[in-house]
Amino acid sequence: MTTHVRFPSPYQLKAPAGAEGWQRLYPYYLVFQDNLKEKEEKKFWFCDSQHWPSPFKPFDAVTVEFAVKCLGQYNTRHYLVPPANGVDYRIHNGYCYMSPVSVAPELIGGRVPQFMERAGYYFQNWDRLLVNWDKKVRANIADLEALNFEKLPEVVPLDWVTGGVGLDNTYGLMETYDRAIQLLYKTWQYHFEFLNLGYAAYLDFFGFLKGQFPGIPDQAIAKMVQGVDVDLFRPDDELKKLAKLAITLGVADAVKTGSLEQPLAAVAKAPGGQQWLDAWTAAQDPWFNFTSGNGFYSTDKYWSENPDIPLGYIRDYIVRLENGEEIDRPTARIAAERDRITSEYAELLDPEARAAFEGKLGLARTVFPYVENHNFYIEHWSMGVFWRKMRGLSRLLHDAGFWHNPNDMFYLNRQEVRDALFDYCNAWAVGVDAIGPDYWPAEIASRKTIMAALATQAPQPALNEPPTVITEPFTIMLWGITTESVGRWLNGTADKSQLTGMAASPGNVEGPARVIRSADDLGQIEQGDILVAPVTAPSWAPVFGKIKATVTDIGGMMSHAAIVCREYGLPAVTGTGNATSLIKTGQMLRVDGSTGEVTILS
Amino acid sequence: MLKILDGRTIMPFSTACEADHGRMGGKCASLARMIAAGVNVPDGFAVTTEAYAAHLGSGELRNRIDGLIRSIDSDRVDDAEKKSAQIRDAIMAAAMPADIEADIRRAYRAIAGNDDLPVAVRSSATSEDMPDASFAGQQDTYLWIVGEDQVVERVKACWASLFNARAVAYRARIGLAQLDVQMAVGVQKMIDAAAAGVAMTLDPITGDRTRIVIDSAFGLGEPVVSGEITPDNFVVEKVLLEIVRRKIADKGHELVADRAARRTVARVIEASRRSLPSLSDAQVIAVARLAKSLEKSMGCPQDVEWAIDRDLPDGENVVILQSRPETVWSRKRPAATKSYAMGIEGVIGTLLAPLQVKP
């Protein structure tokens, strides 16, 4: 067998048929430029299909821009992480590729004192600063929530004229758009304010234990720091409470009737029904700001706008309760298990190491709640509000004739949306027809063809020549990319019935595969299936009661999928690279979440 | 001649107390300790060091042994072999004191209920099984011994094995008075093992204490202990009790009981079974769980011999045949006291150290 030493260059990877010209969908700085070939080919790029598993619509690229830029700023400019700057990123054939930027060796030493002063301040004042973070993020969400995109009136209101305002309604409309983008930008700055430091402290604890016990499973280390009362699990917990309440109040059958409007109407008529409806309404703010995706796509379905999703889960829970099943997360058992594991490892250490263990564990447990909880506040809640507002703007311009479908705006990038909005405002002011209605429908149709063509091709796991050793800490922790995993991508395994990934959550089971590529297909999952997906989202939690195990293409120990699987006590193998392309629905699998091995049995 | 007191020569595992352990030898004392701690150990009794001393007596046999030892020409290997064989013959030829023999027969019948129970007869030396003076394996073990006549004969053979050439030479080298060494013998119900082997509560290769390493094969465990066959190898993570590695060997033979012939026999394993795991995953975890609890109750890493009893149902069929302190890694001392960078300095150290995490 020949050993491949490099991945293809992006300059060799042509667009799939029908996707030619895709570059115009994205800003110039996000695509590989021809005149930079020599420079770009020297860098190693890996595909982040963990966060962006499918091609971006042009507007949705704002998520990768803001997220990855803001990740970088904290390493490079806030804390001066000694060996690591940010992560460079490009879009190629619709997928996102990342390239971590290391600091020149001679500059690392000089950054250490600055890191100690800046990051040290955060570690020392973590809890106080986090209280402040919570306030900032909630205020930011409130600001987003307050935004409204309203149709321009026939004329400027009289009192604006008589009040000498001197502005028209387009001024506010355009400001609202700019403000939405700025608030989104702020959201992503806040997202990384604590995250990189949280991972670094966790990594210190992780590396210490690996030094003490070379064979300690990653998941054992994660179990020592993971929280029990995690906000990320609250939405699911709320559904469980509503299921129980429905049974207690005797409205379970009403909840189970018909499609969406019918059950709510049926409950309203039932005695005690109003109490359940009040609880249902109360749970929504904020816990239904929860996406069945990962928050990075405009197509994400949020529970608040798609109440049939949480309602369906509640019905499942009711059925399981009626069958006498226990649906609550075993929080007491998880807490006891966390204590047992921690003390058993501590007992195996010599006294000096044990003192270090206690100290590092303390810091890791201080920072870890942020790592687990931020996801709800940013990806779910903040992003949920943002997408809802953007859909409002898209509908407004749709009503003004700019495109054929209410959500077509997302085929424009964020700068083009600003142009279209000005076009709308301009035409209103001049008293002519806007140009957009005669320009965008054809362009959007062409872009839809391109998007469909891009989606036919899976991304390359990586581009160009990999480094001999991957040492960049964030690459390893966030993306689960190691020297070994890159080696596996390059050479694959000779045996196509055997896949290897990260041992993310322990246990060994066999069962039929169910390959799920998007949240829309979650309904196909049957009791006892093994879920095989490019990546899973925490909000898929309700299906975790049905499945036996999870296998993903992408993801590390700290990926959201790994956290949820450990929480639900399900075996998980993450970061297999190509499980969704090798495995077909219905095949029998054996998943060993302790060794990271997946075997296709038939 | 030493007066033999009732109960001094025979000590059942199940009723021995700490004060009796010295007379039972290391192996039997450890079995008694495990039984007291509630571990599933097959029943049996020790023929104590006092019985051995009584057999040696103070007269003719003792003098003859003493004379043979003094006459060994330590420069000639064949001379040591010849003289130690003569010592063993003398021990075997001497009649056992009648009261001791009667005690052994009575004790055997007490655990057997009749004259048919197969037992294992093993030496239990007083200096064996100590972390700092490993005699392990230097004395003999007799498996599947049936009937009181045979038991009496094998007890004597164990006593004699104290004078195998290697043991004699070892004692001479470290300056141990040959006739002061005491020897007890364990007589223990034989387990008809579906599978058996050893478990170490650390990784013997790396010393990693988060691992339990299990060697296992079909049938009785002796071929695994003595290294005659390549066993299946399982590595279990100690805290999570998860199997992290399985290496299933192609197992050619198994040592099993031939009940009719009243002995063990090495049997060829049929082709369909030889590459199957000798333990189910649940059994691997059950063995690991027991080894882990032994380590905890004994206070240090253990080297455990275990068997799966064919006659017991799953869930309660793992029995412990022996547990002794692990000797190699336990004697190692860390070279120097390490210091660890803490707080932000620890974080910086981690960020700067080339990090290689194996998935």
pLDDT one-digit tens code per residue, A480-519: 777 777 777 777 655 678 888 777 777 889 999 999 887 7
Contact status of A83 with chain B (Cβ, < 8 Å): yes
State which amino acid sits at residue B124: S
- Which of A 479-508 lie inside 8 A of B, CB atoms? 480, 482-485, 500-503, 506-508
Residues 283-342 of A with CB under 8 A from B: 340-341
A5 touches chain B (CB under 8 A): no
pLDDT mean over A323-341: 90
Contacts with B, A 106-125, CB within 8 Å? 108, 112, 115-116, 119-120, 123
Angle subtended by helix axes A105-124 and A169-212, to nearest 10 = 100
**Which residues face A47 on adjacent strands?**
A97
Q: What value does the mean pLDDT take over residues A421-438?
A: 98
Question: Across the interface, do A469 and B357 touch by the CB < 8 Å criterion?
Answer: no
Residue B240 has its nearest CB partner, among A81, A220, A482, at: A220
What is the spatial distance between Cα A585 and Cα A468, in angstroms, rounded to a whole number? 36
Structure confidence at residue A4 as a pLDDT band (50, 70, 90): low
A575/B contact by beta carbon, under 8 A: yes
pTM: 0.79
3-state per-residue secondary structure call for B2-28: CCCCCCCCEEECCCCCHHHHHHHHHHH
Q: Residues A566-589: pLDDT tens digits? A: 767 788 888 787 788 889 999 999
- Asked if A570 reaches chain B (Cβ–Cβ under 8 Å), the answer is no
Query: Of B343, B352, B359, which is closest to A502 when you measure between CB atoms?
Result: B359
Q: Do A484 and B359 touch (CB under 8 A)?
A: yes
B352 close to A (CB below 8 A):
yes
Contacts of B344 in chain A (CB under 8 A): 115-116, 119-120, 123
Chain B residue nearest residue A509, CA to CA = B281
Task: Flag whether residue A350 sits within 8 Å of chain B, measured between CB atoms.
Answer: yes
Mean pLDDT by 10 residues, chain B (359 residues): 56 87 87 90 93 89 90 80 91 92 92 86 70 46 91 94 81 80 91 94 86 94 81 93 89 88 89 93 95 91 94 90 82 65 87 57
Of the pLDDT bands very low, low, confident and very high (cuts 50, 70, 90), residue A50 is confident
The pLDDT of A313-339, averaged and rounded, is 90
What residues in A contact B345, CB-CB < 8 Å? 116
Q: What is the 3-state secondary structure (H, E, C) of chain B?
A: CCCCCCCCCEEECCCCCHHHHHHHHHHHHHHHHHHHCCCCCCCEEEECHHHHHHHHCCCHHHHHHHHHHHCCCCCCHHHHHHHHHHHHHHHHHCCCCHHHHHHHHHHHHHHHCCCCCEEEEEEEECCCCECCECCCCCCCEEEEEECHHHHHHHHHHHHHHCCCHHHHHHHHHHCCCCCCCCEEEEEEECCCEEEEEEEECCCCCCCCCCEEEEEEEEECCHHHHCCCCCCEEEEEECCCCEEEEEECCCCCEEEEEECCCCEEEEEECCHHHHCCCCCCHHHHHHHHHHHHHHHHHHCCCEEEEEEEECCCCCCCCEEEEEEEECCHHHHCCCCCCCCCCCHHHHHHHHHHCCCCCCC
User: Shortest Cα distance from B248 to chain A (angstroms)?
Assistant: 16
Closest-CA residue of A relative to B281 is A508
Out of A345, A353, A469, the one facing B239 most closely (by C-beta) is A345
Residue with tokens 């990855």: A68
Question: CB neighbours of A244 closer than 8 A, spacing ≥ 6?
Answer: A321
Q: Which of A341-355, A450-464, B117-131 has the lowest mean pLDDT?
A: B117-131
Q: Which residue of B has its CA nearest to A555?
A: B359
User: Which residues lie below 8 Å from residue A528, measured CB to CB, with a gap of 6+?
Assistant: A511, A512, A546, A547, A548
Residue A407 pLDDT > 50: yes
Size of interface A-B (CB pairs under 8 A): 134
CB contact under 8 Å between B359 and A575, yes or no, is yes
Least confident of A322-336, A358-372, A530-544, B2-16: B2-16
Question: Are B210 and A341 within 8 A, CB to CB?
Answer: no
Extents of the domains making up chain B: 10-189, 193-331
Interface residue B299 vs chain A (CB under 8 A): no
Interchain proximity A594–B239, CB inside 8 Å: no
> Taking CB atoms and an 8 Å cutoff, what residues of chain B touch A108?
352
CB contact under 8 A, B359 and A115: no
A204 with B334: Cβ contact below 8 A: no
| Cβ–Cβ below 8 Å for B355 and A203 | yes
Distance from the Cα of A506 to chain B's closest Cα (Å) equals 7
State the nearest Cα–Cα gap between B37 and chain A, in angstroms.
20
Interface of A with B in 53-82 (CB under 8 A): 81-82
Question: Token pair of B65, please?
Answer: 């042994």
Query: Which listed CATH number (3.40.190.170, 3.40.50.12280, 3.30.470.20, 3.40.50.1980) goes with B193-331?
Result: 3.30.470.20
Phi then psi for residue A302, to 5 deg, are -95, 140
Out of A214, A355, A501, name the one closest to residue B206 (CB): A214
Average model confidence (pLDDT) for chain B? 85
Q: Which residue has the tokens 């013997």?
A: B204
- Beta carbons of A348 and B209 less than 8 Å apart: yes
Q: Does the structure show a pLDDT above 90 at A64? A: yes
pLDDT at B132: 37
CATH number given to B10-189: 3.30.1490.20
Mean pLDDT of chain A: 90
Which pLDDT does position A174 carry in this prediction?
98
Contact status of A590 with chain B (Cβ, < 8 Å): no
Residue of B nearest to A358 (CA): B342
Within chain B, what is the greatest distance between any pair of CA atoms?
Answer: 77
Q: Compute CA distances A27 → A62, A143, B325, whole Å.
A: 10, 27, 68
Distance from CA of A570 to the nearest CA of B (A): 14
Please state, in angstroms and rounded to a whole number, the distance separating the CA atoms of residues A184 and A172: 18
Per-residue model confidence (pLDDT) at position A173: 98
B258 at the A interface (CB within 8 A)?
Answer: no
Tell me the chain A residues in contact with residue B339 when contact means C-beta distances shorter than 8 Å.
352
Contact residues on chain B for A353, CB-CB shorter than 8 A:
338, 340
* pLDDT greater than 50 at residue A535: yes
Instruction: Kindly report the nearest CA distance between residue B124 and chain A, in angstroms.
Output: 31
Instruction: Answer whether A23's CB lies under 8 Å from A35's CB.
Output: no
Burial A355-365 (b: 16+ CB within 10 A, else e): ebbebbbebbb
Q: Does residue A103 register a pLDDT over 80?
A: yes
Confidence at residue A556, expressed as pLDDT on a 0 to 100 scale: 61
What's the pLDDT score for residue A594?
77
What is the rounded CA–CA span in Å between residue A52 and residue A90?
12
Residue B6: predicted pLDDT: 53
Q: Do B359 and A480 make contact, defined as CB atoms within 8 angstroms?
A: yes
A331-347 and A351-375 are packed helices; what angle lies between their axes, rounded to 10 degrees? 150
A599 touches chain B (CB under 8 A): no
Residue A39 has pLDDT above 70, yes or no: yes
The beta-carbon neighbor of B348 closest among A112, A213, A508 is A112
CB contact under 8 A, A218 and B240: no
Are B357 and A482 a contacting pair at CB < 8 A? Answer: yes
Q: What is the pLDDT of residue A555?
A: 67
CB half-sphere exposure, A490, CA atoms < 13 A: 21
Query: Does position A281 have pLDDT exceeding 50, yes or no?
Result: yes
Q: Checking phi first, is residue A338 left (phi over 0); if not, alpha (psi -120 to 50) or beta?
A: alpha
Q: What's the token pair of residue A318?
A: 């009711």
Does residue B344 sit at the A interface (CB-CB below 8 Å)? yes
- The answer to whether A123 contacts B351, with C-beta atoms less than 8 Å apart, is no
Which residues of A fall within a CB distance of 8 Å from B242? 217, 506-507, 594
pLDDT at position A397: 98
Q: Which residue of A has its CA nearest to B202?
A: A348
Q: What percent of chain A shows pLDDT beyond 90?
A: 61
pLDDT of residue B336: 55
pLDDT of residue A602: 83
Nearest CA in chain B to A354: B340
Q: Is the pLDDT of residue A61 over 80?
A: yes
Cβ of residue A30 closer than 8 Å to a chain B Cβ: no
Domains of chain A: 231-331 (no CATH), 496-600 (3.50.30.10)
